[in-house]
Amino acid sequence: MLEIDHLALDFLRYRGLWQREAVPCLRDVSLSLVRGEVHAVVGASGAGKSLMAQAIIGLLPGNARLRGELRLDGAPLDAPRQAALRGKRLALIPQSLAALDPLVRSHRQVTWAAQRAGVSAPRAAAERALTEVGMVGDSARRYPHQLSGGMARRVLLAMATAGEADWLIADEPSVGLDPAHRDGVLDQLRRLADAGKGVLLITHDLRHALSVADRVTVFHAGTTLETAPADAFQGRGKALASGYARALWRALPDNDFARPPVHEVAPLA
Amino acid sequence: MIAPLTRRLLRLVAVLGVVALAAFGLMQASPIDPVDAYLGPQVAQVSPEQRALIAERWGADQPATQQFLHWLGNMLRGELGWSRVYNAPVSEVIGTRFMASLPLLASAWLGATLIGFALGVIAGTREGGWVDRWICRYAYTLASTPTFWLAILGLLLFSVTLGWTPVCCAGPAGVTRDELSLATRLHHLLLPALTLSLLGVAQITLHTRARMLELMRSEVALHALAQGASRRDVAWRHGARHACLPALTLAFASLGELFGGSMLVEQVFSYPGLGRATVEAGLRSDVPLLLAIALFTALFVSVGNALADGLYRLVDPRLRQVHP
Amino acid sequence: MSATPSPRLALRGNPRLGLALGTLTLLVALVALLIVTPQLAERAGASDFQARLLAPTTDYWFGTDVLGRDLLARTLQGLALSLWVGAAAALLGTLIALGLAALACLDRRADAVVGLLVDSVLGLPHLILLMLIAFALGGGTQAVIIAVALTHWPSLTRVLRAELLQLQQADYVRLSRRFGKSRGFVIWHHLLPALLPHCLVGGLLLFPHAILHEAALTFLGFGLSPGQPAIGVLLAESMRYLSAGYWWLGVFPGLGLLLLVLAFDRLGNALRRLLTPHEAQQ
């Protein structure tokens, strides 16, 4: 089990030429991810979801100050443990396509990922991961700029799975994809969870997250408001505890398309 | 691919034209009379008639534009004129001097590029670490060091105090160039080449390091680290790949600095190369030689600059794609 | 994300403390240098044939030269001279760069001409161009200043031109024009304030280069006259006595020059980092 317990995060920055101040980015983040589930973290852009992902793998920028606790299978997940487990047991699917090295052919990047994860036969592992995402033959040998957005996403997915990590953090893995490709990526995540991995799906898209997720954590302004099973999102959202989550649900086009009353959206006020 | 190449060649010709015009104009504007400079202390013994005769033979009495066109025509035909200082055709002086300088320039260039690149990658691997801090200190200090002072220090330490290397010249006195053995030549070349390459190292190190930092803060590096890569792995697999082209570009673009450095280093070590010939030509007002050297080095440097620009197109897969 | 100011962080532990102290020290040192040198003129010029070529002692910290003159006084004088020449050349170079950058932004043809000029100056080794200009102007202090200024504008011109082109396209500048503000208003209130930091830092970074090139030019014999106690002159003189073992003649003047150049280079780069938004937070 991967547990995040009251995580808070500030950045130190300069105000003017001399004085420094701390800018809070995460205030209170708690959730737990178990094997075999797809756990969606849903919130608006800029709510700090990607920073949470970076905090889990331990790759925050130098001027970040972290409080709270991370635990993996009961033991604290501190910096040395994060470094030891990165790629091997914890894998990240980054949000940006700029994460692919533009000067290296795709299949080589996947092979490197497998090598870094300590796989004994990296070439074969890369081949297998690429086949699983449907990148075969010539298309796997291309440079990143020659790939379409859908192909690049699949290469990123292959890089995360080549190392056979059992905890996957997918940061907006389907953003910018057409419906067919998006469903393909989400289905792939579902299959990984069914194979016994824990998948944390970070997204701003509640509707499509619900199609694959077991549980959903609602995230707003650096705080996790509540975690609910996916089937709580139905009807008028009576089963949801927080007003923000209910508003998020009801704002979807399939539902009332209702604009929520303003006071309900501001849980921090 | 063809169109950019043509444009680049046209640009090169235009630059050389401007350099020729500027160099010639500056020589014309000089208050130092070339005839007086040629005669030197004998000027008192020469009658005004004789003087006018010399001026006429050089074409110094014609209008400046005509002189320029005349000179440019000669240049294009390959008639570079006569060097008064060395009492030989300018083309011959440049030829032999450049051949003497070439090993110095080439070894210094190669050394500076390779060492500078390696240091830059190593420094950029862990920003702010002690290795980085020391390499930076070293590079900053070197970048602020006057070239000729570095040469003087080298001379003092290795030649005067320790006696490991010769004090001057390209070979022992009284021995002609052809009689020198390879070992003697290398022995005389060692210290000048080392000094000159140390100079270039700083620039390439700092530039490579800047590119490395850019990459190490990028999504590519974050992603690689998330895969469990060590910083050294990221630096050499991704960083070196991204930094090598800029480093090579800079190396080609700084041929002018290299040549300027060789003038100073050759002066300190009395190395009989093109740099020293330039200084002699300037000090003793050998206008034909000075103009020809200016044009020659402009060609040398401009070709380097053009190569630097063109490299990207040839090596980067993203740009290769645009012009298949 | 709203920024709630944290309790003010103490002086200690602020990474910019080093920069502030360094700048202060440098300024104090420079003012001291400029105050002290005129007083030293006599000592620097006075030859004492009883004390020729003395190695460094407590009386003469840097030793004495062949005419028995105090090398410390001469070095300080040389540094002050370098400072003036470098400052004048850097200022002139910055003005040239600003003018040409503005010219390049007027229209495409002017841009092409400025581009050709930049390429031409960069197409000739700096030192040769310096030599040609100094040669044409007949040597001397003024010639050196002009020569150094005329060879050091291209890189700054490129920076300022890029900055200006970007500013012209910036929304707030275009809006200002659309609202009917005059050209002069836009230049004075929008363009100059944005360019000034670049000019300041660019000029400051030109300065060490200018000093180094002045010294090199003088060392080769094309710059300041041999009568002036310039660092280049001191080092050129020292060449004659090196093989006899009078090492201090060659070591100290160059060391002084190195420290001066290094201080300005570091200061300029630190300020440049402060002005680069993404580097400022590091």
User: How confident is the model over C72-107, as pLDDT tens digits?
Assistant: 878 888 888 888 888 899 999 999 998 898 888 877
Residue A201 has pLDDT above 90, yes or no: yes
Q: What mean pLDDT do residues A102-122 have?
A: 91
Cα-based distances in Å from A19 to A12, A110, B259, C269, C280:
10, 44, 47, 21, 13
Nearest residue in B to A61, CA atom:
B217
Give percent of chain B above pLDDT 90.
Answer: 23
Interface probe for C, chosen from A9, A18, A26, A60 (most Cβ of C below 10 Å), is A18
Interface probe for C, chosen from A9, A20, A26, A50 (most Cβ of C below 10 Å), is A20
Nearest residue in C to B214, CA atom:
C279
The region of weakest confidence among A235-244, B47-56, B126-135, C9-18 is C9-18
Interface probe for C, chosen from B152, B258, B295, B299 (most Cβ of C below 10 Å), is B152
Mean pLDDT, all residues of chain C: 80
Residue C1 has pLDDT above 60, yes or no: no
Asked if A86 reaches chain B (Cβ–Cβ under 8 Å), the answer is: yes
Q: How far apart are CA C112 and CA C110, in angstroms?
A: 5
The region of weakest confidence among A1-10, B60-69, C128-137 is B60-69
A221 vs C contacts (CB less than 8 Å): 1
- The pLDDT of residue C9 is 45
C contact chains, 3+ CB pairs < 8 A: A, B
The region of weakest confidence among A123-127, B62-66, C141-145, C150-154 is B62-66
A contact chains, 3+ CB pairs < 8 A: B, C
Q: What mean pLDDT do residues C16-23 have?
A: 75
**Per-window interface: C 258-277 vs A, CB < 8 A:** 274
User: Cβ separation of A25 and C9 shorter than 8 Å?
Assistant: no
Nearest residue in A to B318, CA atom:
A145
User: Cβ separation of B228 and A143 shorter than 8 Å?
Assistant: no
- The pLDDT of residue B168 is 73
User: Cβ separation of B152 and C131 shorter than 8 Å?
Assistant: no
Q: Tokens at residue C147, please?
A: 């020569």
Q: Is C64 helix (H, G, I), strand (E, B) or coil?
A: strand
Residue C244 has pLDDT above 70, yes or no: yes
- The pLDDT of residue C7 is 42
B105 sits in which H/E element: helix B90-125
- The pLDDT of residue C94 is 92
3-state secondary structure chain A: CEEEEEEEEEEEEEECCCEEEEEEEEEEEEEEECCCCEEEEECCCCCCHHHHHHHHHCCCCCCEEEEEEEEECCEECCHHHHHHHECCCEEEECCCHHHCCCCCCHHHHHHHHHHHCCCCCHHHHHHHHHHHCCCCHHHHHCCHHHCCHHHHHHHHHHHHHHCCCCEEEEECCCCCCCHHHHHHHHHHHHHHHHCCCEEEEEECCHHHHHHHCCEEEEEECCEEEEEEEHHHCCCCCCCCCCHHHHHHHHCCCCCCCCCCCHHHHCCCC
A117 vs B contacts (CB less than 8 Å): 227-228
Greatest CA separation for chain C: 78
Nearest CB to A24 within list C4, C8, C281: C4
User: Cβ separation of B226 and A87 shorter than 8 Å?
Assistant: yes
Q: What mean pLDDT do residues C249-271 have?
A: 84
Residue C212 has pLDDT above 70, yes or no: yes
User: Cβ separation of B282 and C220 shorter than 8 Å?
Assistant: yes
ipTM for this model: 0.86
Residue B116 has pLDDT above 90, yes or no: yes
- If we measure between CA atoms, which residue out of C251, C249, C256, C257 comes closest to residue C66? C249
- The pLDDT of residue B263 is 92
Give residue ranges of A with CB < 8 Å to any C CB.
10, 13-15, 17-25, 46, 62-63, 221-222
Q: Which amino acid is at C236?
A: A
User: Cβ separation of C1 and A23 shorter than 8 Å?
Assistant: yes
Residue A159: pLDDT band (50, 70, 90) is very high
Residue B60: pLDDT band (50, 70, 90) is low
Nearest residue in C to A222, CA atom:
C1
Residue C6 has pLDDT above 50, yes or no: no
- The pLDDT of residue A202 is 93
A51 vs B contacts (CB less than 8 Å): none
Q: Tokens at residue B212, please?
A: 């490395």
C245 vs B contacts (CB less than 8 Å): 160
Which CATH fold would you assign to the domain C66-275?
MetI-like fold (1.10.3720)
List, in sequence order, every residue forming a beta bridge with B163; answer none if it has no partner.
none
Residue B134: pLDDT band (50, 70, 90) is very high
- The pLDDT of residue B322 is 45
Nearest residue in B to A96, CA atom:
B219
Task: Answer with the residue of higher pLDDT: C189 or C3.
Answer: C189
Nearest CB to C138 within list B32, B152, B294: B32
Which residue segments constitute the domains of chain B, with CATH numbers given?
16-79 (no CATH), 94-321 (1.10.3720.10)
- The pLDDT of residue B135 is 93
Q: Is 3.40.50.1370 the CATH classification of the domain at A1-87+167-177+196-269? A: no
Asked if C7 reaches chain A (Cβ–Cβ under 8 Å), the answer is: no
Nearest residue in B to A53, CA atom:
B226
Distance of CA B63 to the CA centre of its chain: 34
The region of weakest confidence among A122-126, A192-196, B287-291, B306-310 is B306-310
Asked if A63 reaches chain B (Cβ–Cβ under 8 Å), the answer is: no
Residue B26: pLDDT band (50, 70, 90) is confident
Interface probe for C, chosen from B149, B153, B162, B268 (most Cβ of C below 10 Å), is B149
Task: Answer with the residue of higher pLDDT: A211 or C178.
Answer: A211
Residue A140: pLDDT band (50, 70, 90) is confident
Mean pLDDT, all residues of chain A: 86
Task: Answer with the residue of higher pLDDT: A218 or C26.
Answer: A218
Q: What mean pLDDT do residues A151-166 have?
A: 90
Task: Answer with the residue of higher pLDDT: B105 or B53.
Answer: B105
The region of weakest confidence among A75-84, B132-141, C3-12, C187-196 is C3-12
Q: How many CB atoms lie within 10 A of CB A45?
A: 9
Contact C248, C237 (CB under 8 A): no
User: Cβ separation of C281 and A14 shorter than 8 Å?
Assistant: yes
Q: How far apart are CA A39 and CA A47, in angstroms?
A: 17
C271 vs A contacts (CB less than 8 Å): none
Q: How far apart are CA B269 and CA B172, in angstroms?
A: 13
Which phi and psi angles does B257 have, rounded to 5°?
A: -60, -45
User: Cβ separation of C212 and B305 shorter than 8 Å?
Assistant: no
B14 vs C contacts (CB less than 8 Å): 116
B218 vs A contacts (CB less than 8 Å): 98
User: Cβ separation of B26 and C136 shorter than 8 Å?
Assistant: yes
User: Cβ separation of A19 and C9 shorter than 8 Å?
Assistant: yes
Nearest residue in A to C271, CA atom:
A17
- The pLDDT of residue B108 is 93
- The pLDDT of residue B43 is 65
Cα-based distances in Å from A149 to A100, A179, A181:
12, 13, 9
Q: What mean pLDDT do residues A244-253 have?
A: 84
Residue A192: pLDDT band (50, 70, 90) is very high
- The pLDDT of residue C45 is 67
Closest-CA distance, A146 to chain B, in angstroms, reads 9
B contact chains, 3+ CB pairs < 8 A: A, C
Which phi and psi angles does B156 have, rounded to 5°?
A: -60, -45
B225 vs A contacts (CB less than 8 Å): 59, 86
